[in-house]
Each structure stands twice: as C-alpha cells, then as structure tokens.
A and B are shown apart, each in its own frame.
Chain A
Amino acid sequence: MTTPDPTVTDTTLTVTTPGDRVIHIERIFDAPLDRVWAAHSEPDLLARWWGRGNRLDIEKFEFERGGHWRFVEHADGETHGFEGRFREITPKERIVQTFEWDGMPGYVSIDTATFVDLGDGRTKIVTESLFHTTDERDGMLQSGMESGLSASYVALDRLLAA
C-alpha cells in the first residue's frame, strides 16, 4: 500500500471526469481508517462536518442497506434539504447511496465512497458520483442530431470547465 499513486499526492484532491456523467474525486486524510469511518457512520460526528461549516440537522439516518437518510443544511438564513437511500454499506470499505437535493427534485446521483487504509495512519477516500442523465438528453442522443448534439456537448464541456 506504500506504492505512490501517480494521480494522488499527499492530502491533495484530484478531480477527474472520466465521462461526462461521472465525477471522480480522491483525497487522502491524515487519520486512520477507524476514525474516518466513524465520521461517516456516526450521525453525531457526521453532523460536525457534512454541513461544510453550516448548521446541519440530521432528520433521518438509517445507516443500513435500503435505509433512508435526510439532512437539512442551514446557510445564509436558508435551508437546503438533501436526501437519499443507502444502497450498500460495507463497513470500513464502501458506502453507496443515492443523493438528491430538494432544489432539483428528480435529479438523482449515485454516490460511492470507497475507503482505503493506506497502512501508515492515513486513509484515502475515493468518491464517485454517477449522474443519471435526464430523458431530454438521452432523447437528443437517440434523435440522431449529431451536429446539434455535438454543439450541446461542446457547450456543456465549456460550462463544466468554467
């Protein structure tokens, strides 16, 4: 586990988009796997970082396969609700969950967090978000509008790069 990974340096974040439907983020934390896992599996601990510095209410946290989670983040006098279901929980290895923001109902991503014990007291988290593209976009794919589609993709690429 000590072989250097060329794509990751200490504590840095690497973000790649292998396809336009996946976000891949890796980050190394200077903490052992047990503590990193606890920060994800214990709601009291989760509430202290998940809100990104904002107050977070954990309304539901059924930490089991099929379990429902719902968090409400308070920022700038507004509330933002997030929710989903756990699809897979493998202790100290993997959490797969659906993710949806109240502000865009029906836009669901599937988020996978993989925990890697680096064996030196540090832990790597690899997150992958898979975005279900919407019907309108798939519809465009199927309607054979090659030039229109490529124009849209160029525009989308530009937006994503911004």
Chain B
Amino acid sequence: MRPRVLTPPFPGATLNQMVQYSDLDSTFAALADPTRRGILEHLTNGPASISDLAARFEMSLPGITKHIRLLEEAGLVLTEKKGRVRYCTLGANPLDHEAAWIRGHRKSIEDRMDRLAAFLDETKEPS
C-alpha cells in the first residue's frame, strides 16, 4: 500500500499567501506602461542587471530604476544585489494565485484518484 502522505490542498502556499490576492491596483499601475511591460517580457528570458536593462531600453539608470521600483512594489520583479551589480528577475505576481490554484487542484485530484484506487483494491470482493 502507498504511504499516506499528508498534502495540504494547495501545496507550497500558505493560507495567508493565498488570500492576499486582492491588491491589484499596484499591479495594474505597473503594467500600464509599455517600457515596464517590455522589461517583464525581457525578464522572462532570465535575470538581467539594471544597467543591461537601461542599455536595452535606452534609458538613464535613474529612469530605468524608477520603472524597476514600480514593478518591484507590484511584486512583478525581484531585485538582488550581487557584488556591485543589481540584478532583476521576475517576481511573484497575482497570477501566481491562479497558478497555485490550478496546480493545487490538479494535485488534489491526483491524490484522490490514488486513494480511490487503493480503496477499491482494499474493498475488492473475492471473486
């Protein structure tokens, strides 16, 4: 018999994280600008330094930093300093909640199907 694994309904997410999905104003504000959307799209390829981004989007460092800060406040981008260089990566954003929701539900169904199979085996009538 399979070991019983206790799985919360939505693995990897605490209840608190899950319910804090309502603050979308900052997300919309952050996304309401073509440069910031461009930055996000660029970051889907992987992390980039702020100076890389400034060069790519032909902006001054203070200018790009302002955009990054807005994206960061919306949780769309994370920044991390390595040595003297600050790198940006894609952050958690409200779409994570939908992803967690869908992923968690899929896991729940799979776990239930496992248990159903075990239950049907255990209760099998001798033929």
Contact = CB atoms under 8 A, between A and B. Distances in A.
Interface stretch (B6-14, B47-55, B56-64, B79-87): B6-14
Interface stretch (A1-9, A58-66, A89-97, A123-131): A123-131
Contact of A31 (B19, B94, B109, B120): B120
A141 interface: no
A145 B120 CA distance: 50
Among A73, A154, A155, residue most surrounded by chain B Cβ atoms (within 10 Å): A155
Contact count band on B? 35 or more
Interface in A1-48: 11, 13, 15, 20, 23, 25, 27, 29-31, 35-36, 39, 45, 48
Interface string B93-127: 11111111111111011111111111111011000
Nearest to B34: A147
Interface in B14-56: 15, 18-19, 21, 24, 27-28, 31, 34, 36-38, 40-41, 43-44
Contact count band on A? 35 or more
B38 A48 contact: no
A104 B58 CA distance: 42
Contact of B44 (A105, A131, A133, A154): A154
B101 A131 contact: yes
B24 A136 contact: yes
Interface in A65-82: 73, 75-76, 78, 80, 82
A127 B9 CA distance: 18
Contact of A23 (B6, B37, B93, B102): B102
B90 interface: yes
A52 to B, nearest CB: 4
A54 B40 CA distance: 41
A148 B31 contact: yes
A81 to B, nearest CB: 10
B100 to A, nearest CB: 8
A151 B103 contact: no
Contacts of A51: 115
A159 B103 CA distance: 9
B98 A134 contact: yes
A160 B31 CA distance: 22
Q: Which 3 A-B pairs have the closest CB atoms?
A: A148-B37, A53-B4, A159-B99
Interface of B: 4-10, 15, 18-19, 21, 24, 27-28, 31, 34, 36-38, 40-41, 43-44, 90, 93-106, 108-121, 123-124
Given A107-B98, A139-B28, 10 more contacts: A27-B113, A51-B115, A78-B8, A103-B15, A109-B105, A133-B98, A152-B40, A154-B41, A155-B44, A159-B103
